[in-house]
Amino acid sequence: MPDRLPDVNLLPKYERQSAGAFYLFLAIIILTLLAYGFIGVYYFTTKSKLTNAEATYTELSEKADGLRAQVDELETGGTGLAQAVTFAENYNIPTSILIEELNEYLPERGYLSEYSYSNQVAEVTTHFEALDVVAGYTTDLLTSDYIRDTKVDNIETFLLKEEENATTVDFSTIPRYESKFTLQINKQNLKGASREDE
């Protein structure tokens, strides 16, 4: 009998790996997961910042467009002002002709004391010696080509200054009447009259 049998091992040699390699592998996995997490957080924060930046850009762009429009308007304002002046000069209403017409209809002792004109409406204050003269003057005004409508706003009596200061009452003094009228002016006829006079 042989002393000893030879030691034959047909299995490959198995070496135990050290724990260091396992920890290194685990560290790489953890670092990879952390990198993915960081990239995800960075992506979403950058996306929200980009959305805010786009909203701000849109708002600023709209403001810039508005300011450009204002600048363009101001730059062309000189031309617009010139057009407005030309328009006003072409549509100037000759109120002196109207005043002459109002004076023509006044009775012998009637006076035109105040006159104002704005936006095709004239306000006139006149002085008369009798109430029936006020009615006649109103009727005459309605026959004018330059006046579309006449309205008597009010009629008041008044005394002259020397009569107001008198210490005795004189019953022979006849009070005078101050009448205020509102007149609707016929602008086209008035403009036509001014062209004929030129």
First-to-last C-alpha distance (Å) of the chain: 159
Q: What is the number of alpha carbons within 13 Å of residue 54 lying toward its C-beta? A: 6
pLDDT (tens digit, 9 = 90+) per residue, 170-193? 555 567 888 999 988 887 777 776
Query: pTM (2 decimals)?
Result: 0.47
How would residue 118 be classed by pLDDT, with cut points 50, 70 and 90? Answer: confident
CATH code for the domain defined by 95-197:
3.30.1360.100
Place of tokens 């000893």: 4
Say yes or no to pLDDT of 34 above 90. yes
Percent of the chain whose predicted confidence (pLDDT) is above 90? 15
The residue among 58, 61, 39 whose CA lies nearest residue 50 is 58
pLDDT (tens digit, 9 = 90+) per residue, 49-58? 999 999 999 9
Question: For the chain, which residues make up each domain, given as ranges?
Answer: 19-91, 95-197
pLDDT at 30: 94
